[in-house]
Amino acid sequence: MRLIEGKGHVIRCALDTPFAGWTGTRVLEGVAPTPPLAPWMALRALNEMTALLPGGLALVWDAEPSWLPVLGGDPRTGFFEALSTLPGLSLHLREEAAGHFSKGIFRGWIHGPAMPTGSAGDLWRHGAFGWVPDQGKAWSLPDFGHVPHGDTALLGASDEVVPGFLWGELLLPLGALASLDAEGLAASLESLQLELERAFSLRLAEGGWPAALPFQRKRCGWRLGILGGTEFQAASGAWETAAEGLKDLARTLEKRLKASVQVGPCHDAEVAHLLGLQAMREGLPWRNSLALPPAPPSFTTGLGADARTPSPLEARAAFPLPLRELLQHPPVALLRVPAVPSEGAAEALLARLNAMPALRWLPPDMTLPGPFNPEQSWAPASDFPFPSDPRAGVQQGLFGEWE
């Protein structure tokens, strides 16, 4: 992966491939048509794809492969266990497809308009899955963007996900937005894109790209990632002004690059720390919103409060209304809690939020996400506020809903 640091921004891209991509499960049909080899050949193909995409691959479970129902119980479970732990792979599925998993590790995201309930809701509240509040057939992939489907389907299926790619990411703190040179940034990205296209064409000519993941130039764009929402708000920044600035920047980039630009939050702690160090080291104007030393010079990821520091759930799940229509995917809220929340507590939290982020619970028995930094370590789970359940003190009637 190539990382280019500029004044108030960071650009990430690959060397001779797209930076990141997404695809649906229909691409796995042609890898190996029949069991018993099909699931393991599919895993091999996915591993080849993720090895070439430093920004990761999002696998959208838009259709069950024809060979999957033929598998027995143990092979089917083993396939999903291996699939969910592939490095660089992000799994996205509907609520009804979550029954093949168990509690314990990060496995992906459930997409749907309503909070997961039943067995899927149990997995969500135990932290095995995050929940993305997508409406209808939409897929908004955290850290990737909005995925087209339906009318542009390859095989005529209305729910089919169309494979797509990102050439790279432009990442910046919201406080630096007003000081950036949009035309200069567009020229830099244009030069990078030209270089990447030429290098990638050589890779394709030499057969160094997996046939299972077809590439189309018109479906490859860029991502504009923002962070430092907490610092921006602390500096009395106006979300309406930020939304207009992001729109103008994205419009300028799209015009110059002749490619789509996905706008979304950035949740990379390493980039947030790098941009914080740069602001303090070079005395940039937006450094004033950072915490004073000896606090580490680092912006918070995304738009809400730092997930590692005890704070109200609403602060960690912040999603400013002026940005709701602009972002191609909601911000991710990691909610560290002292115990697994009840369904009533989760419902009570959702009722207090104006705009819905993508939510992932982190109870004490859940492995915390890295990277781990001694200067910014996770506080103990007991220090975080417990989500209140308004139904906890209500005695249920003997006949339930019949009363």
Assigned domain for 206 exists: yes
Is a pLDDT exceeding 90 seen at residue 101? no
Assigned domain for 388 exists: no
Contact 98, 120 (CB under 8 A): yes
Is a pLDDT exceeding 60 seen at residue 102? yes
Backbone angles phi, psi at 75, to 5 degrees: -60, -35
**What's the pLDDT band for 399 if we cut at 50, 70, 90?**
low
Q: Which residue intervals of 182-223 are DSSP H helices?
A: 182-205
Assigned domain for 276 exists: yes
Q: Looking at residues 380-384, what average pLDDT do you find? A: 93
CB burial class (10 A; 0-12, 13-18, 19+) of residue 400?
exposed
Assigned domain for 343 exists: yes
What was the pLDDT predicted at 154?
46
With tokens 């809903």, the residue in question is 401
Nearest CA to 265 out of 355, 144, 163, 371 is that of 144
With tokens 């024809």, the residue in question is 66
Nearest CA to 138 out of 330, 354, 353 is that of 330
Q: How many domains does the chain have?
A: 1
What was the pLDDT predicted at 171?
97
**What's the pLDDT band for 291 if we cut at 50, 70, 90?**
confident
What was the pLDDT predicted at 296?
83
Is a pLDDT exceeding 60 seen at residue 283? yes
**What's the pLDDT band for 152 if we cut at 50, 70, 90?**
very low
What was the pLDDT predicted at 398?
52
**What's the pLDDT band for 103 if we cut at 50, 70, 90?**
low
How far is it, in rounded angstroms, from Cα 393 to Cα 379?
29
Q: 237 CB contacts (<8 Å, ≥6 apart)?
A: 174, 175
Higher pLDDT, 369 or 265: 265
What was the pLDDT predicted at 170?
98
Assigned domain for 176 exists: yes
**Average pLDDT for the chain:** 88
Candidate from 52-61, 90-99, 215-224, 332-341 with smallest mean pLDDT: 90-99
**What's the pLDDT band for 106 if we cut at 50, 70, 90?**
low
Provide the domain limits for residue 205. Answer: 2-383
Nearest CA to 89 out of 57, 49, 131, 132 is that of 57
Higher pLDDT, 73 or 289: 289
Residues present in the chain in total: 403
Contact 133, 356 (CB under 8 A): yes
Assigned domain for 283 exists: yes
Assigned domain for 393 exists: no
Q: Looking at residues 279-284, what average pLDDT do you find? A: 91
Assigned domain for 118 exists: yes
**Share of residues in the chain with pLDDT > 90 (%):** 61
Q: 11 CB contacts (<8 Å, ≥6 apart)?
A: 3, 4, 168, 169, 170, 171, 188, 189, 192
What was the pLDDT predicted at 158?
58
Candidate from 57-61, 230-234, 294-298 with smallest mean pLDDT: 294-298
Report how far Cα 14 is from the mean position of its chain's Cα atoms.
Answer: 19
Taking CA atoms, 387 is separated from 9, 210, 391, 393, in Å, by 36, 46, 12, 14
